[in-house]
Each structure stands twice: as C-alpha cells, then as structure tokens.
Amino acid sequence: RLIAQVLSSMTASLRFDGILNNSLPEFETNLVPFPSIIFAVSSFAPIIPRERGHHESPSVAELTSACFEPASMMVKCDPRHGKYMACCLLYRGDVLPRDLSRTTATIRRQPGVRFVDWSPTGFRIGLNYQPSTAVPGGDLAEVRRACCMIGNHTSVSEVFARIDHKFDLMYAKRAFVHWFVREGMEEGEFSE
C-alpha cells in the first residue's frame, strides 16, 4: 500500500489539476542529469496508522523533513552517506505554496541533506490540492496532506554492493548456475 501511495503521488498531476503540476517526462528531465545515472530512491510521509490518523496532523516542514529520514526510504540505503543529484518533492492536499519555499530552504541547511556541487537547483516541487486517499479497511490513515520524495542519490550504490556481494556468495557455491547452463548460457559468462 505504501508503494501504491508513492505511485499515486507521482501520477496525481496527470489525474488532477494543480498549481505546480509535474509530468512524467519532467521527472526524467529533472532527476536524470546523465543517461547512465538513473538510480532513484523514494520516500513517503506521513506514515501514520489508521488508529492515530485523527490525532496527528504534521506540518509541511515535518512532512518534508520526514521524507529525508533513512526510515522513510523505500530502498534500504542511508541518504546521509551520499549526495543528492536531484530531488522531486510532490505534495498533496492542504499545502500552501509559501510554506514550500521556506521548507526547502530549511532542508538545504540540514547537515544530513547534501547535494552535488554541480546541481544548480536541486529541488523540483510539485503541488496538487487533491489529498491522497486511504484504502478502505487499510492500515494507513487518511491524512490532510502528504509528501512523496523521489531523488537521484549516490547512496543507492549501497544496494548494488549488497546485491553484488550476495551474488558472489551464491556463485561461489554454484547455486542456481545449472538452470542458466541448461538454458544455453556458459558458466564462464558469470565471472565476467
């Protein structure tokens, strides 16, 4: 359901009118500085259980700050270990444009959020007044405002390093190699 909320936030500008709408080609243009650097990470806030939904109403600054926390990332990597090349912040619901400029300036000053030197702007903002909806009977609360962050970050290399290490361990035991050899692949191709 979290992934559905992220995808819904990404495509909200296609479905609803907003004052700061982003299209999918704009995401690609802003997030991918070079064709070989396409490693996006995403996060979503607030993640509030249905039972506490009526008691909590985070501010725009709290939502944005939560999106940059390692616990909110949809990929197991620590954004404090690298730098952002670009970042799209997609807000939905009861959010005012004047709050966004103050919030992004505050985020830029946080010590854990760093951008590469050659990225002039760093942020792309999307704002849609249609709030995100909760799935009936689901475990996430219906909230007045939400934020989805999609960023191109260097710490995603941690994920690839873990996958590479696990592959090496499995290949050392020749686990699953027979399936590939049976389909016509040569065993020497794995070591390349």
What is the spatial distance between Cα 122 and Cα 189, in angstroms, rounded to a whole number? 40
Catalytic residue among 26, 62, 142, 158: 26
The tokens for 137 are 């009977």
Q: Which residue has the tokens 């699953």?
A: 176
What is the spatial distance between Cα 109 and Cα 61, in angstroms, rounded to a whole number? 13
Q: Which residue has the tokens 């992220």?
A: 6
Kindly give the residue spans of alpha helices, DSSP state H, lying in the chain.
Answer: 2-15, 24-31, 60-67, 97-109, 157-172, 177-182
What count of Cα atoms within 13 Å lies in the side-chain half-sphere of residue 70? Answer: 10
* In contact, 67 and 45? CB cutoff 8 Å: yes
User: Any catalytic annotation for residue 26?
Assistant: yes
Query: Which residues carry out catalysis?
Result: 26
